[in-house]
Structure 1
Amino acid sequence: MKVLVVSDSHGLSEELKEIQEMHKNQVDVMIHCGDSELAADHPYLRAFYNVQGNMDLAHDDFPNETLVEEQGYRLFVTHGHLYNVKMSYMNLAYRAEEYGADFVFFGHSHVAESFESNGMVFVNPGSIRLPRGRKEKTYAICEREDRNKINVRFFEYNGNELSDLSTEYRL
């Protein structure tokens, strides 16, 4: 299973289309973790599972969180602001455990990162518009090759992999 994850695009649309086009035949699922600032019926969002971000106030057609089930895995998606992810991941982790999530995808901080906790892999793809912590505008692809191995790869907007951020997890 391969999942493309973007977040915090803050009004960008052509860039979302380009990322989709680049990976559409390589991934099983596309997720946007909020703050797209685009209408729910925008044509470039149709391929994505979307959630509500704190800046999506004019577009309240998205859920605050969603659970996507794909190939026997549970993907918990939220923006992160309702769980105070800039302060701690504890509330987010508790909610993900309630869902029995295998993966947790979130945004809000604009910081590209991934980590494993209690058998769940957490991924913040960063931002394709306003990155923090590094200069590259980022998104991620998460691949579960088998039950025990997960690769999280980060990419610059142009598709170049950022190998220093990419990680392999063995569960």
Structure 2
Amino acid sequence: MRVLIVSDSHGDAGLVKSVVERERADHLIHCGDFCTGRDRLPSGPLTVVRGNCDWEEVPEEAWWDGGGHRFYVTHGHRRQVQSSLLPIRYRAEENGAGIVCFGHTHFPVCEQSERVLLINPGSLVAPRGFPSPSYAVLETGRGAEVTVTFHTPRGEVIPERGGTYRVRDR
């Protein structure tokens, strides 16, 4: 299964749409701060959460089961992601999730803690502390194995981010 993970697109629905069309993923996760009407988000299989800049009535956090894995999705601003990833990891563990997708910091992260994989795709439009905007693609493999790649909005691979990981499976 191929999962596209984006965050912090801050109103650029056209860019989100072009990335979705190019990547042809089985599922889209938007980690918040989409900053448009909900109707401007792509149609199709989608998990979306509200960020600190969103006004639409979407959940603050969500759980999604796909590709043999349980995902926990949150923007992260209410879980202090700027100072520590422990609160979101604990929240994931409480609910049996092996993969956490979050945003808010505008900085791409792919970090494993125990058997929980924490992914921040970065910002699609406004990176902070990283040289380019970014998004992530997660592909499930056999059993507990997943591969994560990071890309620029034009689709170019960012080789210094991502990798192959073994995470808690469903």
TM category, shorter = over 0.9
Counterpart of 2:116?
Answer: 120
Kindly report which structure 2 residues correspond to 1:44-83, keeping only aligned pairs within 5 A, or say none. 44-47=41-44, 48-56=46-54, 58-59=55-56, 61-83=57-79
* 2:22 paired with 1:12: no
CA RMSD of aligned residues (A): 1.3
Query: Does the 8 Å contact 2:6/2:121 carry over to 1?
Result: yes
Q: Percent of counterpart pairs with the same letter?
A: 37
Kindly report which structure 2 residues correspond to 1:13-162, keeping only aligned pairs within 5 A, or say none. 13-24=13-24, 27-42=25-40, 44-47=41-44, 48-56=46-54, 58-59=55-56, 61-162=57-158
- The whole-number CA distance in structure 2 between the counterparts of 1:96 and 1:132 is 25
TM-score (norm. length: structure 1): 0.92
* 2:162 paired with 1:166: yes
Secondary structure of 1:91 counterpart? helix
**Which segments of structure 1 move beyond 2 Å, counting only runs of 4 or more?**
44-48
Secondary structure of 1:41 counterpart? helix
Q: CA deviation at 1:141?
A: 0.4
Gaps of 5+ in 2: none
Secondary structure of 1:166 counterpart? strand
Paired residues, what number? 166
Query: Does the 8 Å contact 2:61/2:73 carry over to 1?
Result: yes
CA displacement 1:73-103 (0-9 Å, x = unmatched): 1111000001000011111111111110021
CA displacement 1:43-94 (0-9 Å, x = unmatched): x3333311000011x32x1100001111331111000001000011111111
